[in-house]
Each structure stands twice: as C-alpha cells, then as structure tokens.
Structure 1
C-alpha cells in the first residue's frame, strides 16, 4: 500500500492486521497509513443475537478506536456464519433500526461514528433492503457502488436518493455477467471473486466516473477507499502479478477521473 502511494487503510479481514490497538497503531505508523476503521458484521434483526452483536461491536470499536480509527462500518449479516439472506417483516426491520442506535452509542464512546454497508449476501443487499433502513434510521452510509450495483440499486440513483446520508465511499467495480451466477445461487461469493466478478476500476459495469464526479461536485469530503477484492489460492503471487497489478490499474483510472474533474473546475 505504501509503495502504491495509498494514505490510509481499513482494518481488513481478521488476522490481516494486529488485533491489539497499540500494535495496530504502530504498524500503521510504520507504513505512514492512517487507520480509518473497518467492516464489522453483526446480527441486527434477531433479538436472540443482541448480546453477541453488541459484544462484537464493543470489541471492534475498542480495537479500531484505540488505534485512531474513526469509522465503524456496520454490516447487517443474517448470522455470524454468514447464512443466506432472509426475508424479514416490518417488526424485524424496526428492531434492526433500534439495534443500530445501540451500536451508535457504543462506537461514539470510542470516538467513532457508524456507517452501514450494503453488501451482497447480507440482509442489506437489494434496493428494498436499503430503503427499509433509510426510512427507519438516520445512520450514515458506506456508499459501496459495487455491492449496490450487484444488488440492483443503480449507484447514481442511490446518490440521488441518499446523498446527505453518505459518510464513506468504497470504490468497487463489478462485471454483472460474472456476478449473475452468484445472484442465481449457482456460485458462492468466493467463487464469483475467483472468477473476476470484482474487476479493476473502469473494466466493469459501475459508472465509476459519473459517480465520483457527482460526489465531488456535491462537496463530499470523506475518504474514498479502493476495494480490490481478490482470492489468492496458490500462495504469494509472483512479481508483476496479483492484486497489486489490478490496484495500480484502478489508481491510474481514478487519477484520470480526478484530472478531468480538476480541469473542468478550472475551466469553469
């Protein structure tokens, strides 16, 4: 990340970065990376999982907040073992919204804020799921354009619907043709990733340039986090191969968008 010029990071998958706040802070400082926060799966709709979910939120907030992180990215999973998405009734959505308020109190106590994350394979996957939360809670949102696109919510439409709720941005492109078998239940999410479902910026179906340009025009001043999902199954990639190559392509694409936007601003 440092070599590619990236200035910050999220926590990432369990075990990727240290689980002790002091050690985590030291690693980030060593590589000149700001700790933004991270993705935390919790079960919000099921009262039987309340205590476990609040405990998980407390642990994650203590780690990230203790390392200087400021953003708690909530993912509403069906279960802690990522069971398939369920259809739930209005009462369960109401309960989930109340749980978001409880988590907000936990993260605030650690100097953080909360932003909920739509995600393939979770309880917030489809436009109706997103709107159920938008209508019931004032929680901020992680605008993950790739996951919204897969779930059937045009990112441009989401931006129009919820611009004032966007607290964080995940940059992600997706090939819908490769996502289709996952949506049909013929492949797992991991298989979709292995097949290239999430591709470098500009290679997929997400209108990345349009979305980023509109975010900039509207005054968004938060982080843009580049998420280049990859499934490494055969050990460390050889030099010149692996996720680093795709990340570099995405960075170059985003720099071109930024240059075009900046030139347009100067011209106007």
Structure 2
C-alpha cells in the first residue's frame, strides 16, 4: 500500500483579479497559509503560468517549481479541462464554448480545435519539464445531446461518435506517451465520457491506450446516482488523479437527476463544500489506499451556499484528516510465532 499525498487544492475556482488571488505567487502564499501542500494549476490561466514559455524553457519551469517550493508547495498537475473540452465540440455548443478560447478563434470551430490540440501538446511538454505524471482534462462531447435515447438513435450512431472522438484524441495520447504523461479524463456529465460504460467504449476505440486514464471525482457520481465506491474497485488501475469534492442528491416531487433547468441551489443534485454533502470520503480514501494510489488528494471547491474562502479553509484539515498512513505491520502480529515446519504440518494434519 502507498500513501496519498495532500492536501492539495485546484486553483481555478479561486483565481480572480484582486489580491491575493491574482497571481500564482500570492495565491500560493495564501493556500500555503491554510495548510495546503500542493497546487493544481489551471494551465489556461496566464495569471498562474505562461504555458508557451513553460513548453519552451526548462529554466522557466525550474523557477516556477522553485518559487512554489519556497512556499512549501508542490505543483501537482497542470489541468487542461477547458482545452480538452474544445478538442470535440458539437456545433450546437459552438457559441457557448467559444468563451473557453481566445477571441481570434471565436466563430471558427476548426481553428479553435487546432488551438486546443496545440494547447494540449504544450501541456504535455510543460508537464514533463515539471516532472508531473498526469494532466486532468475533459474529453469534449459530440454526443451529449443524444444522452437520452429519444428520438431513437440510428444503428451505428454511438459507435461512430466514439470512433470520431478517438480519432481526435489518439494523436494527443500518443504525444503524451512520448512525454511520459497520462491524460486523466474527468468522468463528468456533459462529456461523452460521463460514466464507466462510456469510458470503456472510448478506451476500446483507442486500443486500451496506456495514457488514457481517469480523474476520479465522486461528486459527479452522486449527481448521476452511480456507485462511486464500486467504480474504484472496477477502474482503480486507470485512476491517475483525484478531486476531493462533495455533493448531495435530494430528489423531491419537483426535480430529480435532470434538475429541471434550475439554478444550482434549487437542483436535487448540487455540489457542496467538503463534509456538507453525502460523499463517503472515509471509504474512498480507504479504497484508494488499498489499491496503492499515491497521487494527490486535490480539493476542487464548488458549493452553491458556502463562501469559497470558508470552503478552502475547511478543505485542508478535512483532507489531511482523511489521508491514511499505511501500516507496515499486521494488527494480529502479536499473536503470531516463528515459522516452524513441524508445527505447520501438524496444523494441517500432514505427516512429517
């Protein structure tokens, strides 16, 4: 067994244009003061990282990691959710997803996709330079509008959708393999990979690619009413990143899984700060420890009620309290004895 590392925090939800949230150094000092030991950096945010320079310069990466180390922080991953999303966008979502890309590619889906792929490749190189093992990402979606089987799907439609998704991602996965970095897809509603079945379908299309892996975030499984503990049992070999994020699902006569187009606070399924929802983190940390996951436990804070500063302050001790120090002794060792072949044979009823 190995020990999870942490506590760490994903910075995306906290970055804004006011101190101490407006630069990596200042927000790093803030989260270190809260007790965090690691930071997951949104690679699309220029306030955190110059991605072009990180992909070109080992000196820049060394300086970046060194400045964080002076604060007692480790860079855990460079996240690529927004860029990964833009690798595959159905035309119905073009206008909405343009906001994730620079203005010069707005209204130009093909150029926007090329930009996204280039961004993913730069993160692969930057991650290698920083000594990182994986990048959390989204796969994008060509079929989300087909998630409910009405109208009936024509035969072969879903298979063709996964073929196209794999066609777009296979060269990226190969490039990540060349750089020794995993892509950890966050299994997430709105993505073509939103549960175990859809992940398996994609994995088959990329020929079980070794760099096609999973970011485990139980909050999205609460919202889908999926068994997130059994998910770990089934897919633990592919889990390469972990978001510690809470959620609750409280259906009533008015809304259920689909949410009725309501705002987050009025939905049956909603994200909560750590400890305020329904996720069984004791069992999650136990299972991940059992299976030897030694990555970072990273807070992703999203809550429709609690202030982010309170959520961040509560998150570090919450994670620290759940990290298990693996034992190197058995609890019943005291009752054992030295190996004695004759005694073993007698216990088994075997003649000497």
The TM-score, its normalising length taken from structure 1, stands at 0.75
Q: Label 1:46 to 1:27 Cα distance change in 2 as closer, same or farther (>3 A).
A: same
Q: Label 1:193 to 1:67 Cα distance change in 2 as closer, same or farther (>3 A).
A: farther
> What is the deviation of 1:266?
6.7
Q: Does 1:5 align with 2:68?
A: no
Query: Mind listing any 5+ residue stretches in structure 2 that lack a counterpart?
Result: 1-30, 55-59, 91-108, 147-156, 333-352
Q: Label 1:230 to 1:207 Cα distance change in 2 as closer, same or farther (>3 A).
A: closer
CA-atom RMSD in angstroms: 3.7
Q: Which among 158, 176, 186 is matched to residue 89 of structure 1?
A: 158
Q: Does 1:121 align with 2:190?
A: yes
> What is the deviation of 1:206?
1.6
**Structure 1 segments (4+ residues) deviating >6 Å:** 193-196
Aligned partner of residue 244 in structure 1, secondary structure: helix
> What is the deviation of 1:113?
2.1
> Across the two proteins, how many residue pairs are aligned to each other?
252
Q: Label 1:130 to 1:187 Cα distance change in 2 as closer, same or farther (>3 A).
A: farther
Tell me, yes or no, if the aligned pair for 2:244 and 2:300 is still in contact at 8 Å. Answer: yes
Q: Aligned partners of 1:93 and 1:45: how far apart in 2?
A: 11
Tell me, yes or no, if the aligned pair for 1:35 and 1:68 is still in contact at 8 Å. Answer: no
The TM-score, its normalising length taken from structure 2, stands at 0.59
Tell me, yes or no, if the aligned pair for 2:250 and 2:268 is still in contact at 8 Å. Answer: no
Q: Which has the higher contact order (CA 8 A, sep 6+)?
A: 2
Q: Which among 48, 55, 58 is matched to residue 118 of structure 2?
A: 55
Q: Aligned partners of 2:178 and 2:132: how far apart in 1?
A: 13
Q: Does 1:17 align with 2:76?
A: no
Q: Label 1:218 to 1:112 Cα distance change in 2 as closer, same or farther (>3 A).
A: closer
Q: Aligned partners of 1:52 and 1:86: how far apart in 2?
A: 24
Aligned partner of residue 174 in structure 1, secondary structure: strand
Aligned partner of residue 211 in structure 1, secondary structure: helix
Q: Which has the larger radius of gyration?
A: 2
